Structure 1
Amino acid sequence: MLFVYNIAIRIYYMLIRLASLFNNKAALWVRGRNKQVVKQHTRSLWFHFASLGEFEQGRPVLEQLKQQHPDQEIVITFFSPSGYEVRKNTPLANAVYYLPLDTAANAGNFIAKIDPAIAVFTKYEYWFYFFAELNKREVPLYIISGIFRPGQVFFKWYGGLHRKILGFVNHFFVQDERSVQLLREINITNATVSGDTRFDRVWTNAQHPQNIPFIDEFKNGQKLFIAGSSWPADEALLVELVKQYPDWKFIFAPHEIEEDKIANLLNLLPASETIRYSHLKAQNLQLKANQAMVIDNIGMLSSLYQYADIAYIGGGFGAGIHNTLEAAAFGLPVIFGPNYRRFNEACNLITEGAGFAIANEDELKNVAAKLMNDPDALKSAGQKAQDYVQQNVGATEMIAKHIIITYNG
C-alpha cells in the first residue's frame, strides 16, 4: 500500500503542476514550494494547518503555547496558498512555510531543519512520511479539533496504511464522542473529547471585534443581511432577496475576490444602488444611498458580522459550507446551502433553531420571510445561535494544558 501511496502523491504533484499553467492558486502552490528556503530552527513548536480556516481553528492553542513559552521558536506550515498567502507574515510565528510534498526525503530534510519539540496538526491532514519521521525522532504529535466519520478511509478494509498513519499520533483531541468510538473500533484509544477550538476563537473575536465605522453609515439604521464567503451559486439566489427586501441592506463578502468573480457579482446587483468596498474613497459616495455593498478584500468578514442581523454562509452548493460559527457568535441566525452534513456545528445549529439549510430559491425565500418579516423570530434565532457558541467554549484550555504539561515534562 505504501507503493500505491507514493504513486498517488507523485500523480497529485503532476496534476498540480499541470493545473498551475492556467490556475493561479495551483501556480502559487507550486511556485511557493519551489522558491522556499527553510532556515535552521532549534526546538521549535510546529503548527500545521491545511488552510486559513484551520489556522483560525487552531489559533487559540497556538496563542496559549506562545504565551506560556514566549522565547520558543514557533514554525507554522500551510498546505494551501489560501492560508499561506494571508498569514505568511503573522506575528504569531518566527517562520511560515509551505508544507513540502509528502516524500521520505522531503519529510526528513524539512523536519531536520525546523527541529520540532512538538507538532500540532489541526483537524485535517494525515501525511505518512511526515508523521513517520516525527515518530522516528520521538517528537510528540497531536491532532486537535479532529473529527472522524464512518465513511473515511481509516475505517475501510483497504485503509491499513492510513490506520498506520494514525498510529504515529501521540494524542487525538476530537470534537465528539462518535470520533472516539470510531477510533476505538480500530484499536486507537489515545483520544479525548475536547470539543472544537473554533468555538473559543470565534467567541473571543465576538467579544473584541475590530470597529469598521463606515458600515454604520452604510446601514443608516436599517437591518443588514450579510453573505459571508459566498460563491456564484449562492449569489445567484441571494440577489433575489435584494430586490424583494428594499428596506434591508446587504453586504456580500465573496470567498474568491479575483476581478472576474467580483465583476460577475456586481453584474447581478442593481448598479445604481451597489457600492464596491475598494472604490469607497475614490468615488466619495454617500454610503447610505446604497442598498448593497461588495467587499473585495480578505480579512474583514469576521468583524463585519457584528453589524449584521442575518448571515448567509456560502459553500453549501459546492464542497461544503464555510465557517458558520463566526456569525453565530455575534448572535446571528445562519442560512446555508444543502451540503452541510459533514459539519457538526451546522447540524447542531439547525437542531437549536438557529441554523437553516436551503436547497433552492423557494426555500431561501421561505426562510428569509420567516426571519426578515418577524422581529421576534429573528431575535429568538439569533439568541439561540449565540447561546450555542457560548455553551461550547473551553476546548483550548483542555488541549493547551495537556500539551504544556507534556512539553514541560
Structure 2
Amino acid sequence: MIIWFFSFFNSKAALFISGRKQIFKQIAEKINPNDQNIWFHFASLGEFEQGRPVLEKIKQSHPDKKIIITFFSPSGYEIRKNYALADGIFYLPMDGRTNAKRFIELINPEMAIFTKYEFWYYYFKELKNNNIPLYVISGIFRKEQIFFKFYGNFYRKILKNVRHFFVQNNESLSLLKSIGLNNVTLSGDTRFDRVYQNSLSPKKLPLIELFCEDAPVMVCGSTWPDDEKLLSALPDKYPNWKFIIAPHEIDESHINDIEQIFPDAIRFSNLKIMADNINEIEPDAVYITQNKILIIDNIGMLSALYQYGQIAYIGGGFGAGIHNTLEAAAFGLPVIFGPKFNKFQEAKDLISINTAKSISSVNELIEAFEDFKSNDKASVAAKNYVIDKKGATDSILSNISF
C-alpha cells in the first residue's frame, strides 16, 4: 500500500507497481514448466552483475538449460529486461503463500539461485516443499542481522530452507555455523570474477575516447550531490585533467543541479547528438576535446568508463554507503570515496594496501588526488587485488550438481 501511494509521485515506485500487473499471465505465456528451468533471483542491478558470472558459466556448460530471471527492483529489471542469455525476465511477484505456490508451479525450476541476500519466507518454503534445491551465492552476513539475535528464531527458519550457502568471508561462515547451519562453503565473491572479465574485454566507447583525447582522466562513478559538491574543487585546480561524472540518479533535476555545480560541463547526450548529425566526428573533434567535464546522463556505461581513467571517485560515501569500487580497481584505478565504507570489505582491503583513500573534506580529497595522480604502485596493487580474489564462480559451480 505504501509503494502504491508513492507510485503517484515516484517513477521507481510506479514501475514497481505497473511491472507486476498481470505478471502471472506474462510468465505463463513465456515459460514452459516442462523445460529444464533454472531460476535466478536478483534484488537489483548490482546483484545481477554479481551473479552474472555463475549464470553465464552455467549457460555455457549447459546450453540446454533455460534461464529465468526475476528482479525485485525496477533499477535491475528495467536495465536488464532484454538480457540475451535469459529465456524469461520478470518482476518477482510479492512474497505470499498463494503467489509463491503459483509462481513455482508456473516455472517449475530444477534449482533456484539467489545472489547475496533477499530471503523470502513463502518462496523459500515452497521451494523446500517441492524438493527444489535453493542456493545462496556470494552471501554475506553480519552479526547485527536479525538471524543472529535471540529473538530471530522465525528468520532463522527461513535460512533452513536453503540447500547450500556460498559465502564471501569467514565472518559469514562462522555466523551461519553459530546458528547450526553447516551447509556453508567459503567461496569468495563472484563480483571479482565479473569485474575481472569486464576488464579483459570492455566495451569500447568512441565518443569517450574522443573526449578524453590524451589527457589524464578522473572517472567519478555513482555520485550523489554531496560527492559532486566536493568534486567541484578539482577541475580548476587541475586544468590539465578531464573529469567524467556518472551520477547514480540521472533524472533531469539532478543533471541540472550538476550543471549548476559544473557550468562548463557537457552532457554525453549532447556529444551523441553532434555525432549523429554529421557523417564524420572529426570536424567537431576540436570542440569536443576542449571540454574538460563530461556528465553521463544515461545508465549502463559506467563499468566501461573506467578503462579511460587514471583515478576513480566512487560515490555514496556520504549517504547509505559507497557503491562498487571493484569495477574501477579491476582496471588498475586507485579509488577515493567518502567516510561511510565500513560495511564493504573490499573498500577496507583496498585502503589497507594503499590503493584507496576515504575522505570527508575538500582538503582530504585534494590530498588523496595528489597522492594518486602519479602513483603507479597503487594502480598495480589495485589490479592485483582483483586478480588474487577471483575464482568464486568455479568454486560455486564445483559444488552444485546438475
Quickly name the TM-score band, shorter chain normalised: over 0.9
Secondary structure (helix, strand or coil) at the match of 1:266 reads: helix
Work out whether 1:382 is the aligned partner of 2:379.
Answer: yes
Q: Distance in 1 between matches of 2:137 and 2:333?
A: 27
Equivalent residues of 2:207, 2:272 under 8 A apart = no
Q: Distance in 2 between matches of 1:16 and 1:98?
A: 15
Out of 19, 22, 40, the position equivalent to 2:9 is: 22
Give the partner amino acid of 1:371.
F
Secondary structure (helix, strand or coil) at the match of 1:216 reads: helix
Give the partner amino acid of 2:193.
D
Equivalent residues of 1:49, 1:55 under 8 A apart = yes
Q: Distance in 2 between matches of 1:281 and 1:343?
A: 36
In structure 2, the residue matched to 1:6 is none
In structure 2, the residue matched to 1:278 is 269
Q: CA deviation at 1:339?
A: 1.3
Out of 164, 169, 174, the position equivalent to 1:181 is: 174
Q: Distance in 1 between matches of 2:197 and 2:145?
A: 32
Aligned residues: 386
Equivalent residues of 2:41, 2:113 under 8 A apart = yes
Encode CA deviations 1:269-290: one digit per residue, 9 max, x unaligned: 033xx21100114346521100
In structure 2, the residue matched to 1:55 is 48
Matches within 5 A, 1:31-50: 31-36=18-23, 37-39=26-28, 40-42=31-33, 43-50=36-43
Report the TM-score, using the length of structure 2 for normalisation. Answer: 0.94
Q: Mind listing any 5+ residue stretches in structure 2 that lack a counterpart? A: 276-283
Matches within 5 A, 1:215-254: 215-254=208-247
Q: Distance in 2 between matches of 1:259 and 1:196?
A: 35
Pairwise CA RMSD: 1.2
Give the partner amino acid of 2:330.
A
Matches within 5 A, 1:3-402: 14-36=1-23, 37-39=26-28, 40-42=31-33, 43-271=36-264, 274-283=265-274, 285=284, 286-372=287-373, 375=374, 378-402=375-399
Cα distance change on mapping 1:66 and 1:222 into 2, 3 Å:
same
Encode CA deviations 1:231-257: one digit per residue, 9 max, x unaligned: 111111111112221111000011111
In structure 1, the residue matched to 2:281 is none
Q: Distance in 2 between matches of 1:390 and 1:255?
A: 27
Q: Mind listing any 5+ residue stretches in structure 1 that lack a counterpart? A: 1-13
Q: CA deviation at 1:354?
A: 0.9
Secondary structure (helix, strand or coil) at the match of 1:391 reads: helix
Encode CA deviations 1:369-394: one digit per residue, 9 max, x unaligned: 2223xx2xx21111111010000110
Equivalent residues of 1:41, 1:73 under 8 A apart = no
Q: Distance in 2 between matches of 1:23 and 1:341?
A: 30
Equivalent residues of 2:217, 2:311 under 8 A apart = yes
Secondary structure (helix, strand or coil) at the match of 1:113 reads: helix
Percent of paired sites with the same residue? 53
